[in-house]
Amino acid sequence: MKTIAVYPGSFDPPTYGHLDIVDRSSRVFSRVIVAVARNIRKNVLFTTSERMEMLRKLTRSYSNVEIDSFRGLLVDYARDKGAHVVVRGLRAISDFEYEFQMAHMNKKLAPEVDTVFMMTGERYSYISSNIVKEIAGFGGKIDDLVPPMVREQVLRKIRKGK
């Protein structure tokens, strides 16, 4: 049975934690769609196109991973793609409360779509896109948090903003 999973997020920027979830999801599901949210309320550093391009480059070695974007309800997007699974990464207990609420709401809206939680690998449990942007903004090193290509793009964006 082929199972299509959607891994949604802002990915602003993509981190090693995100890539850990992509890698592990690619080994569990037949097809993984990494879906970049276009209608996020966050203050983003990168455009949707820039985030998608970074993710395409970072995941090109996975034959069953594709990069896309979506606007609106995640469950509507999942249905449109024929996906029955949403993958969410968890770093800490604090993530679980929000994700638990979202999983139940998604189940109410689309009973045929299940949410699968994956614990981010221990070495990535403290990484978030917001932390990466904050550290970089203050001139700190982000080498262990994001791939080199992402690091360069983050630093370039931050330098432009100053």
Catalytic residue annotation: 18, 42, 91, 129
Distance (Å, whole) CA 47 – CA 50 = 5
C-alpha dihedral, 78 to 84 to 88 to 93, nearest 10°? 130
Rounded to the nearest angstrom, the gap between the alpha carbon of residue 146 and the centroid of all alpha carbons in its chain is: 13
CA 8 to chain centre: 5
Helical packing angle, 74-81 and 93-109, nearest 10°: 60
In angstroms, rounded to a whole number, what is the distance separating the alpha carbons of residues 156 and 162?
Answer: 10
Q: How many CA atoms lie within 13 A of 52 on its CB side?
A: 13
Residues whose CB is less than 8 angstroms from the CB of residue 139 and which lie 6 or more positions away in sequence, other chains included: none
